[in-house]
Amino acid sequence: MKRIWLAYGAAALLLLAGCGKSNDNANSASNEAAPGQAPGQPATAQTEPPVPPPEPPKPLVVPAGTSIPVILSTTLNSHKNKPGEEFEASLAAPVVVDGEAAISKGARVTGVIVNAKKQGAVKGEAQMSIKLTSVTVHGKNYLIATNSYSGTEKGKGKRSAVMTGGGAAVGALIGGLAGGGKGAAIGAGVGAGGGLATAAGTGGKNVEFPAESRITFKLSQPVTIDR
pLDDT at 115: 95
Domain co-membership, 120 together with 143: yes
φ, ψ for residue 39, nearest 5 deg: -60, 145
In a domain, residue 68? The reply is yes
149 three-class SS: strand
Domain co-membership, 81 together with 187: no
Q: Are 148 and 130 in contact (CB under 8 A)?
A: yes
The domain that holds 212 is classified in CATH as 2.40.128.260
Domain co-membership, 217 together with 112: yes
117 three-class SS: strand
In a domain, residue 12? The reply is no
pLDDT at 171: 36
Question: In terms of residue numbers, what domain contains 112?
Answer: 60-156+206-225
pLDDT at 41: 57
Q: Are 194 and 174 in contact (CB under 8 A)?
A: yes
Domain co-membership, 123 together with 177: no
User: How many structural domains comprise the chain?
Assistant: 2
In a domain, residue 15? The reply is no
pLDDT in tens, the chain (227 residues): 555 555 555 555 555 555 545 555 545 544 554 455 555 555 566 788 888 888 888 999 999 999 999 999 999 999 999 999 999 999 999 999 999 999 999 999 999 999 999 987 546 789 999 999 999 999 999 999 999 999 998 865 443 333 333 333 333 333 333 334 433 333 333 333 333 222 333 345 899 999 999 999 999 999 999 98
Domain co-membership, 79 together with 120: yes
Domain co-membership, 142 together with 192: no
Domain co-membership, 105 together with 214: yes
* C-alpha separations of 212 from 23, 64, 69, 72 in Å: 93, 26, 12, 5
Domain co-membership, 168 together with 109: no
Residue 199: count other Cβ atoms within 10 Å of its Cβ. 23
pLDDT at 35: 54
In angstroms, the CA 60 to CA 40 distance is 56
pLDDT at 169: 35
Q: Are 110 and 85 in contact (CB under 8 A)?
A: no
pLDDT at 48: 84
Domain co-membership, 124 together with 185: no
Domain co-membership, 220 together with 108: yes
Q: Are 77 and 208 in contact (CB under 8 A)?
A: yes
Domain co-membership, 100 together with 211: yes
pLDDT at 227: 86
Radius of gyration from C-alpha coordinates of the chain: 47
